[in-house]
Amino acid sequence: MRKTIVAGNWKMNGTSESIRALLDGITAGVPVVDGLVTLVCPPAVYLSQVKEQLGNAPVVVGAQNVSAQPKGAFTGEWSLEMLQDLGCEYVILGHSERRSLFKETDADVADKVDATLTAGLTPILCVGETLAQREAGETLAVVATQIDAVVQRIGIERFASVVIAYEPVWAIGTGLTATPEQAQEVHAAIRAQLTGSGMKVADKLSILYGGSMNAGNAAELLAQQDIDGGLIGGASLKADEFLTICAAAAESRK
């Protein structure tokens, strides 16, 4: 059975104090269930603090981005070696905010996925269509192109170590959520695409949904056959709401 992953993407939010309180709230109620991974992705400057506070708590830590370069004169960047050093296990890559605001291309994202796998961390590769693309009937083609850029770079064999997050851009931070049927359709198409590209274990790949997932809609989304967790922004900043989503994820594994 594939892993279920509930990942909190805290984006550029919090202070050392608010993050301490949020993490206290999460660790107080996080469910421990076989095959369920609870992940928090704080701003990079708080990674050490979070890792230290967690101790042996059953929550893993990820970054929201990383450089594909190993080291050197790249002001404002951080490397995979640094993330390893801090005990990070996952890296969110190709988030739509990175693609649109920071002009990351499919090729940049593929470089980062490649470097992340080489370093032994797990990339969470984000893909998704804009509203205009959905309305033009291009959703599956857009997502397929974003995924194929990575497959071409790393090879289909290594894709077994990737986690995908399908995040329709129009649903991120907007309060609009894809319906369970809309999300399921894309998730199933992604799995079929990877099988078609020669992946033998596409049924083992975790494909998360992201885009205004919250305490109210998580259970319905997570009940879909091909939805294996969530990448959660706004709702991950409130411990009780995040824990409700974690509980729904635990329930979805029964």
Task: Report in angstroms how near the CB of residue 62 gets to ligand PGA at its nearest.
Answer: 12
- Burial of residue 200, with CB atoms counted within 10 A of its CB: 0-12 exposed, 13-18 middle, 19 or more buried: exposed
Q: Which of 58, 120, 173, 198 binds ligand PGA (CB under 6 A)?
A: 173
Q: Map the footprint of ligand PGA across residues 76-115, applying CB under 6 A.
A: none
What are the two backbone dihedrals, phi and then psi, of residue 23, each rounded to the nearest 5 degrees?
A: -65, -40
Per the annotation, the verdict on 167 as an active-site residue is yes
x/- string (CB under 6 A) for ligand PGA, residues 138-157? --------------------
The site for ligand PGA, by CB under 6 A, has a size of 13
Per the annotation, the verdict on 95 as an active-site residue is yes
Q: Does 64 bind ligand PGA (CB under 6 A)?
A: no
Q: Map the footprint of ligand PGA across residues 1-60, applying CB under 6 A.
A: 9
What are the two backbone dihedrals, phi and then psi, of residue 39, each rounded to the nearest 5 degrees?
A: -130, 140
Compute how many other C-beta atoms are within 10 angstroms of the C-beta atom of residue 54.
Answer: 17
Residue nearest to ligand PGA (CB): 233
Applying CB under 6 A, the span of 144-152, 167-175, 190-198, 242-250 interacting with ligand PGA comes to 167-175
Task: Please list the active-site residues.
Answer: 95, 167
Binding site for ligand PGA (CB under 6 A): 9, 167, 172-173, 210-213, 231-235
